[in-house]
């Protein structure tokens, strides 16, 4: 397979690789997410910053993430779940000659959407042929966590939880804010147990327990993190596979218990981009 | 009963009444919540602004709300649930000669607290002797909504939901923010049904449905309001009594269905302050 560029272009970051013979030979990570771009700027960022940095002049490229939204370079309409590798490859949209964008996935009724996670899911699924059979549950923690149900190698359904965004809003801008924070696994675990059991009402306990003297103020943020992740995972299967940054994946594994599996294989988005590029070639 | 001043002093507002013969004869509402005060300022606000405005020089006073917190005038330690009128009267703390503050209520294990709502609950309970027998469920919507279980006229247990604060954070500062908002009961009802059914994961649908074209952007905020109130009320008894501002109480009554009762009697905080003052006299 000849060389190409693979780009994971989200709201806050742009990560790109030059891929030769299915391996990433060089990589860049820019704070050039689509949320910071003006209309028309994506194309310039790509040709003036990404291509030269990866010696990619004239190479084809494949991109996933918010670059395919109305804020990005060109809109790649959502394909409806169930959707797998072939559906994504068939839904590629050309932004410029040889430059293609992976579509997001929506629920058929339009009640939930993803952009970028479909590529990670495909990357994880196609790394091992045994994953392409039967039912799987994936958890992708983040600003907007995705819980994805896989059936026979395709995304069958999913839900979004605003866990990461709620955590940032609450710890920075709410009455739960504390001037000093020290991480505590014990406070996290306590919050997580309550979040799983009682959902949203666990959040205010991050303050109430401090006010009444049964939680140290500097551990309140750990408790809040646990309460949010616990509430998110109240209905999760403990046999889920967690795909995400190691620090966050560790917390989800604590909440889900011993049978949750953290995926340690490396970059699922890059793997997915390689698979979709091949499937469409 | 001789005249006194009754003060409901919360985080953002101060409301005060001059009470003669159990009736409020004059009232003021100031944007002088304790969150805006510097240390020591509460006493000056009371004697220099509240007392003159109500011709209350030399009268005794009773206060409830955040004025009894560490941010307020003087800390009135929480009494543990179960707690009723006599427990609150016995827990009054003197801030200055003749000026007393109603204590808040905490769960015995310190996992949740209230300040102000205990006084509203007592006001509602003692307005009708039949309410003092048996089990009741009260819902007090607001920035931090309280769900209160009453047993034989006392607060037996309660939970706090950060619904109002989450709504403000999400509509102003999150990725759910929309430039234009038009209220829609239909969008509210749709959000509420999903919030009751699926909890937190309904929140992101306020964005996903807009992005995928099945919800009008200007109705997203109504959907979000419904999703939050629905999630709050997922476990509520439909026979609850709702005590709160009419516009908000209406929304909760929509979510809880036909058997929810909105309390229309007027100011529960004032009624509670009068009862506690009498019980302690």
Tens digits of per-residue pLDDT, A73-118? 999 999 999 999 999 999 999 999 999 999 999 999 999 999 999 9
Whether B238 shows a pLDDT value over 80: the answer reads no
What single string gives the DSSP state of each residue in chain B?
A: ---EEEEEE-SS-EEEEEEETTEEEEEEEES--GGGPPTTHHHHHIIIIIHHHTT-TT--EEEESGGGSTTSSS--PPEESSB-HHHHHHT-EEEETTEEE---EE-TTSS-EESSHHHHHHHHHTTSGGGGSSEEEEEE-STTEEEEEEETTEEEEEEEE-HHHHHHHHHHHSTT--S-----HHHHHHHHHHHHHHTTHHHHHHHHHHHTTSS-GGGHHHHHHHHHHHHHTTT--TTPEE-S-HHHHHHHHHHH-TT-EE--SS-HHHHHHHHHHHHH-
Whether A223 shows a pLDDT value over 90: the answer reads yes
- Tell me how far apart the alpha carbons of residues B281 and B276 are, in angstroms, rounded to a whole number: 9
Q: What are B173-231's pLDDT values in tens digits? A: 999 999 999 999 999 999 999 999 999 899 999 999 999 999 999 999 999 999 999 99
- Percent of residues, chain B, with pLDDT higher than 90: 89
Look up residue A37 and give its DSSP letter: P
Instruction: Say what the pLDDT of residue A138 is.
Output: 95
The mean per-residue pLDDT over the stretch A184-210 comes to: 96
The mean per-residue pLDDT over the stretch A247-261 comes to: 86
Residue A154, burial from CB neighbour count under 10 angstroms (0-12, 13-18, 19+): buried
Residues of B in contact with A165 (CB under 8 A): 174-175
* ipTM confidence: 0.92
- Tell me how far apart the alpha carbons of residues A60 and B243 are, in angstroms, rounded to a whole number: 63
Instruction: Say what the pLDDT of residue B145 is.
Output: 96
Q: Residue A71's closest chain B neighbor by CA? A: B211
The mean per-residue pLDDT over the stretch A217-237 comes to: 95
Tell me the shortest Cα–Cα distance from B155 to chain A, in angstroms.
17
The mean per-residue pLDDT over the stretch A32-60 comes to: 95
| B56 compared with B235, residue with greater pLDDT | B56
Confidence grade of residue A146 (pLDDT, cut at 50, 70, 90):
very high
Whether A10 shows a pLDDT value over 90: the answer reads yes
**CB nearest B111 (choices: A110, A169, A205):** A205
Whole-prediction pTM = 0.93
The mean per-residue pLDDT over the stretch A6-11 comes to: 95
Residues of A in contact with B167 (CB under 8 A): none
Instruction: Say what the pLDDT of residue B257 is.
Output: 84
Q: What are B117-128's pLDDT values in tens digits? A: 999 999 999 999
Instruction: Say what the pLDDT of residue B91 is.
Output: 98
**CB nearest A212 (choices: B106, B161, B201):** B106
**Degrees (nearest 5) of the Cα angle B224, B226, B231?**
100
Tell me the shortest Cα–Cα distance from B212 to chain A, in angstroms.
5
Whether B89 shows a pLDDT value over 90: the answer reads yes
Instruction: Say what the pLDDT of residue A159 is.
Output: 97
Subunit contact A208:B111, Cβ cutoff 8 A? yes
């Amino acid at each position: 397979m000849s060389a190409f560029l693979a780009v994971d272009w989200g709201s806050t970051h742009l990560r790109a690789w030059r891929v030769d013979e299915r391996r990433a030979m060089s990589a860049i990570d820019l704070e050039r997410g689509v949320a910071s771009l003006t209309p028309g700027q994506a194309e310039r960022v790509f040709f003036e910053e990404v291509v030269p940095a990866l010696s990619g002049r004239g190479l084809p490229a494949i991109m996933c993430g918010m670059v395919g939204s109305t804020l990005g370079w060109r809109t790649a309409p959502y394909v409806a779940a169930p959707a797998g590798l072939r559906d994504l490859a068939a839904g590629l949209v050309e932004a410029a000659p040889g430059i293609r964008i992976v579509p997001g996935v929506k629920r058929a009724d339009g009640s939930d959407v993803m952009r970028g996670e479909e590529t990670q899911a495909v990357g994880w699924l196609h790394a091992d042929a045994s994953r392409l059979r039967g039912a799987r549950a994936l958890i992708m923690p983040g600003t907007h966590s995705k819980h994805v149900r896989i059936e026979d190698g395709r995304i069958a359904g999913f839900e979004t939880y605003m866990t990461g965004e709620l955590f940032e809003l609450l710890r920075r801008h709410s009455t739960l804010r504390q001037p000093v924070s020290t991480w505590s696994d014990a406070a996290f675990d306590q919050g997580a147990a309550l979040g799983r059991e009682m959902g949203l009402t666990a959040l205010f306990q991050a303050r109430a327990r401090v006010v009444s003297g049964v939680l140290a103020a500097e551990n309140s943020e750990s408790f809040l993190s646990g309460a949010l992740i616990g509430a998110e995972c109240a209905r999760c299967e403990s046999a889920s596979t967690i795909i995400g940054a190691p620090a966050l994946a560790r917390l989800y594994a604590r909440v889900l218990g011993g049978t949750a599996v953290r995926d340690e294989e490396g970059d699922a988005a890059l793997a997915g981009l390689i698979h979709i590029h091949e499937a469409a070639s």
